[in-house]
Amino acid sequence: MKNPSLFFTLLLLFSCNPEDPVSPIVLPTNLNTNIVVDEGFVELQATANGANFYSFIFYDGGDSSYVESNDGSADYTYSLTGEYSVRVRAHLTAYDYIELMENITISDVGYTGGVPTTGYSTPESYPNYSLVWSDEFNGSSLSSDWVHEIGNGSWGWGNNELQFYKEENTVVEDGLLKITAKEESAASFNYTSSRIKTQGLQSFQYGRIDVRAALPYGQGYWPAIWMLGENIGSEGWPSCGEIDIMELVGGGSFNDRTIYGTAHWSDNGAQASYGDASSLPSGEIYAEEFHVFSIIWDETSIRFLRDDIQYHDINISGAALSAFQNDFFLILNVAVGGTWPGSPNQNTLFPQTMAVDYVRVFQ
3-class DSSP assignment, residue 88: strand
Q: Does pLDDT of 85 surpass 50? A: yes
> Quick one: pLDDT at residue 118?
96
Contact predicate 118/289, CB 8 Å: yes
Which value, in Å, is the radius of gyration of the alpha carbons in the chain? Answer: 26
Q: Does pLDDT of 10 surpass 50? A: no
Please tell me whether the peptide bond between 116 and the residue prior to it is cis, using omega within 30 degrees of 0: no
Whole-model pTM: value is 0.76
Q: Does pLDDT of 215 surpass 60? A: yes
Percent of the chain with pLDDT over 70: 91
> Quick one: pLDDT at residue 14?
44
Query: What sign has the CA pseudo-torsion 150, 151, 153, 156?
Result: positive
Contact predicate 360/124, CB 8 Å: yes
3-class DSSP assignment, residue 319: helix
Mean pLDDT estimate for the chain: 91
Q: Report, as an integer, the average pLDDT of 252-256.
A: 69
Listed in order, strand segments (DSSP E) in 202-343 are: 203-204, 207-214, 221-229, 242-248, 258-267, 270-279, 291-297, 301-306, 309-315, 328-336
Phi first, then psi, for residue 26 (nearest 5°) are -105, 100
Query: What sign has the CA pseudo-torsion 184, 197, 316, 237?
Result: positive
* Separation of alpha carbons 44 and 55, rounded Å: 11
Domains by residue range for the chain, with CATH: 29-106 (2.60.40.10), 131-362 (2.60.120.200)
**Bridge-partner residues for 34, per DSSP?**
45
pLDDT band for position 285 (50/70/90)?
confident
Q: Report the largest interatomic distance among the alpha carbons of the chain, rounded to a whole angstrom.
A: 105
> Quick one: pLDDT at residue 94?
96
Range with lowest mean pLDDT among 2-6, 23-27, 61-65: 2-6
> Quick one: pLDDT at residue 6?
46
3-class DSSP assignment, residue 217: coil
> Quick one: pLDDT at residue 76?
85
Q: Report, as an integer, the average pLDDT of 340-358.
A: 91
> Between 188 and 4, where is the model more confident?
188
* Separation of alpha carbons 261 and 274, rounded Å: 9
Q: Report, as an integer, the average pLDDT of 141-159.
A: 93
The active-site residue, picked from 136, 168, 235, 247, is 247
As a whole number of Å, the end-to-end CA separation of the chain is 90
Q: What is the pLDDT of residues 96-112, one digit of tens each?
A: 999 999 999 988 776 66
Q: What value, to the nearest 5°, has the Cα angle with vertex 42 and ends 250 and 109? A: 65
pLDDT band for position 9 (50/70/90)?
very low
Burial class (CB in 10 A: 0-12, 13-18, 19+), 336: buried
The active-site residue, picked from 242, 288, 289, 299, is 242
Percent of the chain with pLDDT over 90: 75
Q: What is the pLDDT of residues 52-77, one digit of tens each?
A: 999 999 998 777 889 999 999 998 87
Residue 11 host element (H or E)? helix 4-15
> Between 131 and 281, where is the model more confident?
131
Annotation marks residue 299 as catalytic: no
Annotation marks residue 242 as catalytic: yes
Please tell me whether the peptide bond between 238 and the residue prior to it is cis, using omega within 30 degrees of 0: yes
Q: What is the pLDDT of residues 152-207, one digit of tens each?
A: 988 788 899 999 999 999 999 999 999 999 999 999 999 999 999 999 999 999 99
DSSP structure class, residue 5? H
pLDDT band for position 26 (50/70/90)?
very high
Q: Cα dihedral angle (167, 169, 170, 171), rounded to 10 degrees?
A: 120
Range with lowest mean pLDDT among 12-16, 185-189, 215-219, 326-330: 12-16
Query: What sign has the CA pseudo-torsion 292, 161, 167, 206?
Result: positive
* Separation of alpha carbons 25 and 94, rounded Å: 13
Residues 6+ apart with CB under 8 A from 106: 37, 39, 40, 42, 78, 80, 81, 82, 83, 84
Q: How far is CA 319 from CA 80, 154, 230, 272, 300, in A?
A: 49, 30, 19, 14, 11
Q: What is the pLDDT of residues 123-133, one digit of tens each?
A: 999 999 999 99
